[in-house]
Amino acid sequence: NAGVMQNPRHLVRRRGQEARLRCSPMKGHSHVYWYRQLPEEGLKFMVYLQKENIIDESGMPKERFSAEFPKEGPSILRIQQVVRGDSAAYFCASSPVTGSNQPQHFGDGTRLSIL
């Protein structure tokens, strides 16, 4: 009964490169959320997706960041032309189909380092 799986666990990129972070939700979960955490800080919401739809992207930077959750395969958070300020831990969470009083289940995150 696998939990939320994120890969890679660690990702190093040089400034200007692209970063692709993957998230496979728990089995039976169709809601995916992405959060970013800076050192010694809480998590900040980025985007909420259901299969093939972006529901809430109010936390996404307007440029360089995009997210998708295709019908088949994992959710992808894509950061183009990375800058030093993108260095952070990125967490994915998932929840089941219905009910607003459902907890979100988190993966172990991807630690992104920009050289």
Partner 1 sequence: SQQGEEDPQALSIQEGENATMNCSYKTSINNLQWYRQNSGRGLVHLILIRSNEREKHSGRLRVTLDTSKKSSSLLITASRAADTASYFCATRALGGSEKLVFGKGTKLTVNP
Cβ-in-10-Å burial (0-12, 13-18, 19+) of 1 comes to: exposed
DSSP code per residue over 57-115: -TTS-SSSEEEE--SSS-EEEEE-S--GGG-EEEEEEEE-SS-TT---EE---EEEEE-
Kindly report the number of other CB atoms within 10 A of residue 95's CB atom. Answer: 19
The reply on whether position 101 binds partner 1 by CB under 8 A is yes
Nearest approach in angstroms of CB 81 to partner 1 is 26
Count how many Cα atoms sit within 13 Å of the Cα of residue 38 in the half-sphere of its side chain. 5
Report yes or no: 103 and 1 within 8 Å, Cβ to Cβ.
Answer: no
Which of residues 9 and 15 has its CB atom nearest to partner 1 in the complex? 9
Q: Please identify which residue in 4, 21, 82, 114 interacts with partner 1, judged by CB under 8 A.
A: 4
Nearest approach in angstroms of CB 84 to partner 1 is 21
Which of residues 16 and 59 has its CB atom nearest to partner 1 in the complex? 59
Return the amino acid letter for 91.
F
The reply on whether position 69 binds partner 1 by CB under 8 A is no
Could you give the string, one character per residue 10-49, with x where binding to partner 1 holds by CB under 8 A and - elsewhere?
A: ---------------------x-x-x----xxxxxx--x-
Residue ranges binding partner 1 (CB under 8 A)? 4, 6, 31, 33, 35, 40-45, 48, 55-56, 58-59, 91, 93, 95, 100-101, 103-109
